Chain A
Amino acid sequence: MTAVEKHDWEVICQRSDLVAGSGVCVLVGSEQVALFYLPGEGPELYALANRDPIGKANVLSRGIVGDINGQLVVASPLYKQHFSLVNGACLEEEGVRVEVYPVQLEGDRVLIGRR
């Protein structure tokens, strides 16, 4: 990491809105963002664009999370492609990627960074 990106942090929801070991969706402006809450992982919270670029529907928050070769992923509920929770890359289709959002937990508040 060469430079720490500057973000304006915005409270987007509460920790109680999250579902441990699974995903929920938040609306950030007009963008749908999938939040995955994985207690015990470091970090515990991950955020990807909710839109599945292959299935072309807003569903990634409803996928099953897990790991493939140690890499944290969510599987699209439509056609089961895996997207990295860390960098948004699709494991099956080279070049396909979903947006990754900076998120953090601060006490009970969930913060999302806006550039």
Chain B
Amino acid sequence: MSKRRIIVVGNGMVGHHFVESLVARGGDYAITILGEEPRPAYDRVHLSDVFAGRSPADLALATRDTYRGWGVDACFGDPVLRIERAGRRVVTENGRVFEYDKLVLATGSYPFVPPVPGADNKRCLTYRTIDDLGEIKANALDSRIGVVVGGGLLGLECGNALRNLGLETHVVEFAPGLMGVQLDDGGSAMLRHKIEALGVQVHTGKNTRNIARGAERALQMEFADGSHLETDMIVFSAGIRPRDNLARDAELAVGERGGIVIDYKCKTTDSDIYAIGECALFGGRIYGLVAPGYRMAEAVAAQLVGEEAQFTGADMSTKLKLLGVDVGSIGDAHGRSAGAMSFVFSDGREACYKRIVTSADGKQLLGAVLVGDCSDYDTLLQYHLNNIELPPDPQGLIVPTVGDRPLLGVGALPATATICSCHNVTKGDVVSALDSGCCSLVEVKGATSASTGCGGCAAMLKNLVEAELLVRGVSVDKSICEHFPYTRQELYHLARIGEVKSFATMLADHGRGRGCDICKPAIGSIMASLWNEHVLDLKHVGLQDTNDTFMANMQKDGTYSVVPRVAGGEITPDKLIVLGEVAKKYDLYTKITGGQRVDLFGARLNDLPAIWEQLVGAGFETGHAYGKALRTVKSCVGSTWCRYGVQDSVAMAIRIEERYKGLRAPHKLKSAVSGCTRECAEAQSKDFGVIATERGWNLYLCGNGGMRPRHADLFATDLDDESLIRYIDRFLMFYIRTADRLQRTSVWMDNLEGGIDYLRQVVIEDSLGIGAELEAQMAHIIGTYQCEWQATLADPEKLKRFRQFVNSDQPDSGVVFVRERQQVRPARAEERLRLISVAK
């Protein structure tokens, strides 16, 4: 038996979503898409992005290959001409005939062009498709002024497009205010104020009577009130009309003002024909947003695989950015419900307007209007959609208050709460995605499609995923290892508050077992951050990773590399010669590092003390390249030499490196100082980076290069030297106090609740009142600094460890070198075999 055939007429967002939903449900159908446009479905919601630099290809929701991969036939550029219901087939303009068992109409809508004489002028355009964009672009080339007719959502979106094309932009609206459907008068007035501030001219209450040839520009619009406006082009974006002509011709029921009548199953008056999206009329209403269209598409797809599914209307709340202005509208924005109460907040200075509409008893949120600041949208929408009881003073939800706003956290939401309305993803869906193994935002997006539509829910989804992960982390990952049921941060506080100075005490008081290679170095590092005792003190010695134990970096063959400190990358010729002499004497492979230092490889364990004896004698100190500690502070030459430098970046880099050298942290720390905005020291890829300005220093925090690059956040600007140092002191100590084990500052920042703003409060405003304490702790670390190598050389007990064999002076026979490009390198396995057999 052959498969049942489904024809989908229309390949817009909703038509595409239907096919995607049906394929995802594994429906055993032969699906054929018949699209009018020459290209597969694309994201119409973000059409104006094309004028802001996105390419039309970026908007694509599917390619021909997508459909091929799904086993779906797709024909583009050949519109359907008629439906022959009796024979259950459709005929295209090119005369092709397709038979169906079920037909889905997703023909969408067309832009309404008011019946004004002259509106057929070739400089009068519409705004609906990618092809329309081409027309608008072409006309904009020889235009200076552009008019959008329509002050609704689409009209303003189109106004943005014209503005991006560099035109003097006018918006002409028939109604007395902008976005009359979504906004009340107050919101509308605020929106107008903000848009006009951007240079877009708004004309409301204008009824266009005629479009004639202009005196100075190409066109002249003549309005009913006698005024007129000259322009070079006009784009109509005054609303949409359902494309119901196929249905109409096939004698399916259509609404008085258009729209294919559907029932709650999205069926038309022919039970084999469905209609979905903007061509459909449900309950006397056209749903002109993408989310309800998606709901219809899913309902039909579900029914076709035998599931019970209905479309019962949809919430028309919306949040978007129009011309850069945040606008949100929820539910009954106009307060038309019986007995509704309103709370309005308007801030002329900040240019934002907020209104909430509640039930008569003030307990339910019926609607809201937000203009200029949509930060409360997610919270308000959840109150509205989930009928969550409002707090006793609901105005607190929108009035800026000193202190904490009653925030509705993601935790308070029921599992049924919709997070992503485009793809109808609930909190429960996100939670089950996490339950089934997703462990990051990206994975949750992939598994649920949440936040891949309009993107309006991105912030809320992130919060939810993070909160859920935190909950899981707390139950699963809280313990650093099996010996301590604590996070690094908790261990830090336990050690600090209890003044614990040894691992043994820590283990006895707070742990169990004997410890391991996870908790020992972590606690060793905490001890160092707190008390700064020598890492090779007897009680700490067993805690250290081999690199810290031998104060050098172990390489793959068991030899070590040595990196002396070269603060700021500044080095005298004499010292450079010493490095060369040492390298030559011990036959060390020599390489310049990315942090402006010199790395000497291939040092044998038993040679390390002699090597350092010579280095310390020449004035070198340890570079801590082996430690979870401050590494290097890179610099450019700055104003001393450079024609462009505005501050002495080398001096500042040396000052910073000298100050924080030896500071042990949850992970390594890197820094850089650039002498001007050209940023030659690449400070923005460092844990803390400093860039000189004419007036001082800009401080950037929490950048990273390496495996997971992160651009540092600009933290503070134009700082004097002392403020810069004070902020870095506090920042570093706060990081050391609160970060997880092996958590770089970049990841720490990504996980810091409140982000960079919170960090500013702590560091700059001292909101926690710990500023002085952090500085004092840093002062203690700086005051107790010792060059670990110098101290080791002075202590025969410590030097005892640097023996390959405690009972022999022989070298490690397993270390075998060959020469390459005039230097040594470890022999490869096959070379080693050959060399060892020769030696024997």
Residues of A that sit less than 8 Å from B by CB: 12-13, 17-22, 24-27, 30, 32, 35, 38, 51, 55-59, 62-70, 72-73, 75, 77-78, 80, 82
Q: Are B482 and A68 in contact (CB under 8 A)?
A: yes
Q: Are A51 and B814 in contact (CB under 8 A)?
A: yes
Contact pick for B545, options A26, A57, A64, CB 8 Å: A64
Residues of A with C-beta under 8 A to B520: 64, 66
Q: Are B546 and A27 in contact (CB under 8 A)?
A: no
Residues of A with C-beta under 8 A to B543: 64
Residues of B with C-beta under 8 A to A68: 482, 516
Contact pick for B514, options A62, A72, A80, CB 8 Å: A72
For the complex, is B558 an interface residue (Cβ under 8 Å from A)?
Answer: yes
Q: Are A17 and B546 in contact (CB under 8 A)?
A: no
Residues of B with C-beta under 8 A to A59: 546, 554, 558
Q: Are A13 and B517 in contact (CB under 8 A)?
A: no
Measured in the bound complex, the distance between the Cα atoms of B513 and A69 in whole Å is 8
For the complex, is B541 an interface residue (Cβ under 8 Å from A)?
Answer: yes
Residues of B with C-beta under 8 A to A64: 516-517, 520-521, 542-545
Contact pick for B807, options A21, A27, A55, A58, CB 8 Å: A27
The minimal Cβ–Cβ distance linking B825 to chain A, given in whole angstroms, is 14
Q: A19-B801, A59-B546, A65-B542 are in contact. Are A80 and B517 (CB under 8 A)?
A: yes
Q: Are B807 and A12 in contact (CB under 8 A)?
A: yes
Measured in the bound complex, the distance between the Cα atoms of B470 and A59 in whole Å is 38
Q: Are B808 and A57 in contact (CB under 8 A)?
A: no
Measured in the bound complex, the distance between the Cα atoms of B543 and A69 in whole Å is 19
Q: Are B514 and A78 in contact (CB under 8 A)?
A: no
Residues of A with C-beta under 8 A to B483: 66-67
The minimal Cβ–Cβ distance linking A109 to chain B, given in whole angstroms, is 12
Q: A62-B546, A62-B550, A64-B521 are in contact. Are A27 and B556 (CB under 8 A)?
A: no
Residues of B with C-beta under 8 A to A24: 801, 803, 806
Q: Are A19 and B805 in contact (CB under 8 A)?
A: no
A-B residue pairs in contact (CB < 8 Å), sample of 9 = A17-B806, A19-B542, A20-B542, A27-B807, A35-B806, A57-B814, A58-B815, A62-B550, A80-B517
B523-564 vs A, Cβ < 8 Å mask (1 yes, 0 no): 000000000000000100111111101100010111000000
Residue of B nearest to A12 (CB): B807
Contact pick for B805, options A32, A65, A75, CB 8 Å: A32
Measured in the bound complex, the distance between the Cα atoms of B801 and A17 in whole Å is 9
Measured in the bound complex, the distance between the Cα atoms of B545 and A19 in whole Å is 15
For the complex, is B386 an interface residue (Cβ under 8 Å from A)?
Answer: no
Contact pick for B517, options A19, A56, A58, A75, CB 8 Å: A75
Contact pick for B554, options A12, A20, A25, A62, CB 8 Å: A62
Residue of A nearest to B558 (CB): A57
Measured in the bound complex, the distance between the Cα atoms of B482 and A73 in whole Å is 14
Measured in the bound complex, the distance between the Cα atoms of B807 and A13 in whole Å is 6
Interface centre among B482, B557, B558 (most CB of A within 10 A): B558
Measured in the bound complex, the distance between the Cα atoms of B565 and A97 in whole Å is 40
Given A57-B556, A57-B558, A64-B520, 10 additional A-B pairs, CB 8 A: A18-B806, A27-B810, A59-B554, A59-B558, A62-B554, A62-B558, A64-B544, A66-B514, A67-B483, A77-B546
Q: Are B513 and A32 in contact (CB under 8 A)?
A: no
Which residues of chain B in 604-646 are interfacial with respect to chain A, using CB atoms and an 8 Å cutoff?
Answer: none
Q: A64-B516, A67-B514 are in contact. Are A55 and B556 (CB under 8 A)?
A: yes
Which residues of chain B in 250-273 are interfacial with respect to chain A, using CB atoms and an 8 Å cutoff?
Answer: none
Q: Is the interface of B mostly helix, strand, loop or mixed?
A: loop
The minimal Cβ–Cβ distance linking A110 to chain B, given in whole angstroms, is 9
The minimal Cβ–Cβ distance linking B76 to chain A, given in whole angstroms, is 54
Q: Are A22 and B542 in contact (CB under 8 A)?
A: yes
Q: A24-B806, A66-B520, A70-B513 are in contact. Are A58 and B812 (CB under 8 A)?
A: yes
Q: Are B513 and A58 in contact (CB under 8 A)?
A: no
The minimal Cβ–Cβ distance linking B806 to chain A, given in whole angstroms, is 4
The minimal Cβ–Cβ distance linking A102 to chain B, given in whole angstroms, is 17
The minimal Cβ–Cβ distance linking B229 to chain A, given in whole angstroms, is 74
Residues of B with C-beta under 8 A to A27: 805, 807-808, 810
Residue of A nearest to B514 (CB): A67
Q: Are A25 and B514 in contact (CB under 8 A)?
A: no
Which residues of chain B in 774-831 are interfacial with respect to chain A, using CB atoms and an 8 Å cutoff?
Answer: 800-801, 803-808, 810, 812-815, 829
Residue of B nearest to A11 (CB): B807
Q: Are B541 and A19 in contact (CB under 8 A)?
A: yes
Residues of A with C-beta under 8 A to B546: 59, 62-63, 77
Measured in the bound complex, the distance between the Cα atoms of B545 and A82 in whole Å is 14
Measured in the bound complex, the distance between the Cα atoms of B545 and A59 in whole Å is 12
List the 5 closest A-B pairs by CB distance, nearest first: A21-B542, A66-B516, A75-B517, A77-B546, A57-B558
Measured in the bound complex, the distance between the Cα atoms of B514 and A78 in whole Å is 21
Contact pick for B516, options A17, A75, A77, CB 8 Å: A75
Residue of A nearest to B542 (CB): A21
Residue of B nearest to A66 (CB): B516
The minimal Cβ–Cβ distance linking A55 to chain B, given in whole angstroms, is 7
The minimal Cβ–Cβ distance linking B829 to chain A, given in whole angstroms, is 8
Q: A59-B554, A62-B549, A67-B516 are in contact. Are A25 and B542 (CB under 8 A)?
A: no
Measured in the bound complex, the distance between the Cα atoms of B549 and A18 in whole Å is 15
Q: A19-B542, A22-B542 are in contact. Are A13 and B806 (CB under 8 A)?
A: yes
Measured in the bound complex, the distance between the Cα atoms of B558 and A78 in whole Å is 8
B492-527 vs A, Cβ < 8 Å mask (1 yes, 0 no): 000000000000000000000111110111000000
Measured in the bound complex, the distance between the Cα atoms of B558 and A94 in whole Å is 24
The minimal Cβ–Cβ distance linking A58 to chain B, given in whole angstroms, is 4
Q: A32-B812, A64-B516 are in contact. Are A26 and B541 (CB under 8 A)?
A: no
Residue of B nearest to A33 (CB): B805
Measured in the bound complex, the distance between the Cα atoms of B556 and A58 in whole Å is 10
Residue of A nearest to B546 (CB): A77
Residue of A nearest to B520 (CB): A64
Residue of B nearest to A55 (CB): B556
The minimal Cβ–Cβ distance linking B388 to chain A, given in whole angstroms, is 46
Q: Are B805 and A20 in contact (CB under 8 A)?
A: no
Q: Are B515 and A26 in contact (CB under 8 A)?
A: no
Q: Are B515 and A67 in contact (CB under 8 A)?
A: yes
Residue of B nearest to A41 (CB): B514
Residues of A with C-beta under 8 A to B804: 25
Measured in the bound complex, the distance between the Cα atoms of B546 and A75 in whole Å is 10
Measured in the bound complex, the distance between the Cα atoms of B546 and A55 in whole Å is 14
Q: Are A77 and B545 in contact (CB under 8 A)?
A: yes
Q: Are B558 and A58 in contact (CB under 8 A)?
A: yes
Measured in the bound complex, the distance between the Cα atoms of B157 and A3 in whole Å is 89
The minimal Cβ–Cβ distance linking B258 to chain A, given in whole angstroms, is 69
The minimal Cβ–Cβ distance linking A4 to chain B, given in whole angstroms, is 26
Measured in the bound complex, the distance between the Cα atoms of B520 and A114 in whole Å is 34
Q: Are B814 and A78 in contact (CB under 8 A)?
A: no
The minimal Cβ–Cβ distance linking B502 to chain A, given in whole angstroms, is 11
Measured in the bound complex, the distance between the Cα atoms of B546 and A22 in whole Å is 11
Q: Are A78 and B806 in contact (CB under 8 A)?
A: no
Q: Are A77 and B554 in contact (CB under 8 A)?
A: yes
Q: Are A26 and B806 in contact (CB under 8 A)?
A: yes
Residues of A with C-beta under 8 A to B813: 30
Q: Are A66 and B517 in contact (CB under 8 A)?
A: yes
Q: Are A78 and B517 in contact (CB under 8 A)?
A: no
Interface centre among B514, B515, B538 (most CB of A within 10 A): B514
Measured in the bound complex, the distance between the Cα atoms of B699 and A11 in whole Å is 61
The minimal Cβ–Cβ distance linking B19 to chain A, given in whole angstroms, is 47
Residue of A nearest to B805 (CB): A27
Q: Are B557 and A57 in contact (CB under 8 A)?
A: yes
Residues of B with C-beta under 8 A to A63: 517, 546
Residue of B nearest to A72 (CB): B514
Residues of B with C-beta under 8 A to A13: 806-807
Q: Are B806 and A66 in contact (CB under 8 A)?
A: no
Residues of A with C-beta under 8 A to B515: 66-67
Measured in the bound complex, the distance between the Cα atoms of B554 and A43 in whole Å is 30
Which residues of chain B in 200-216 are interfacial with respect to chain A, using CB atoms and an 8 Å cutoff?
Answer: none
Measured in the bound complex, the distance between the Cα atoms of B558 and A91 in whole Å is 22
Measured in the bound complex, the distance between the Cα atoms of B814 and A21 in whole Å is 25
The minimal Cβ–Cβ distance linking A67 to chain B, given in whole angstroms, is 4
Residues of B with C-beta under 8 A to A51: 814
Residue of B nearest to A52 (CB): B558
Residues of B with C-beta under 8 A to A67: 483, 513-516
